[in-house]
Amino acid sequence: MDAYRQGDSFYIHLDLPGVNADSIALTVEQNVLTVRADRAPVKADGAELIVAERPYGTFTRQQESDVLADHLQQRLQDGDTLAASLLLHTELHCAANRRPEHIGHEAVSEVLSAVALVDIENGDLTTAPLLPGRLRSADAIHLATALRLNARAMIVHGTELRAASRTAGIDAFGPGAD
């Protein structure tokens, strides 16, 4: 794992050969970033295994990072409010349903209790496809909502949303890129 900071952005680069992207879980809890992934053996049905030297199973890497936590704490002390569209509620609960071994519903509830959730308005949905970049639908809705709220900053998780938010004049920071 390589991690670096550039301005208010945080980047994490991982090499995970042979790992299905759907098995990767990233969590941040009490200033500790945890990356967990599963690598399953690749074997055609009915094939006879001759040599098995590659490691399989669950892999975990943890890295403590006070930098992002300190940045968020400073913004809160400066009077900023953590806000997100109600879409965050759906995304986090769906993630917990998809990966219950990595994301607990109690953790989702704890995160959501610290965030002011705002309704998605029709204007957010009509603005979202007009935003710059090649954003996923959910990312475009998050950015459209941030623009409507006149947000000064937003937490992002990928390079496309980071670039689009900065193009729109919103400071973007987060624990890493897709």
Q: What is the CATH number of the domain that holds 42?
A: 3.40.50
| Tens-digit pLDDT profile for residues 32-80 | 667 778 887 777 778 887 887 777 777 777 666 566 556 656 666 777 6
pLDDT at 176: 44
| Tens-digit pLDDT profile for residues 76-126 | 677 766 677 778 778 778 878 887 777 777 777 777 776 777 888 999 999
Within a domain: residue 81?
yes
Within a domain: residue 57?
yes
Is residue 19's pLDDT more than 70? yes
Within a domain: residue 109?
yes
pLDDT at 178: 37
Domain membership of residue 105 as a residue range: 2-173
Within a domain: residue 178?
no
Report in angstroms the alpha-carbon separations of 40 from 27, 37, 54, 55, 178. Answer: 21, 10, 10, 9, 22
Within a domain: residue 82?
yes
Within a domain: residue 144?
yes
Residue for token pair 């071994």:
101
pLDDT at 70: 66
CA atoms within 13 A on the CB side of 33: 21
Is residue 146's pLDDT more than 80? yes
pLDDT at 32: 67
CA angle 121, 125, 129 (to 5 degrees): 155
pLDDT at 165: 87
Select the more confidently predicted residue: 103 or 164.
Answer: 164
Pairing of strands 32-39, 57-64: antiparallel
pLDDT at 22: 73
Q: Which has the closest alpha carbon to 163: 154, 86, 127?
A: 154
* Rounded distance between C-alpha atoms, residue 77 and residue 73, angstroms: 6
Helices and strands per DSSP (H, E), number in the chain: 6, 9
* Rounded distance between C-alpha atoms, residue 152 and residue 169, angstroms: 8
**How many independent structural domains does the chain possess?**
1
Residue 177 confidence class, pLDDT cut points 50, 70, 90: very low
Other CB atoms closer than 10 Å to residue 40's CB: what's the count? 11
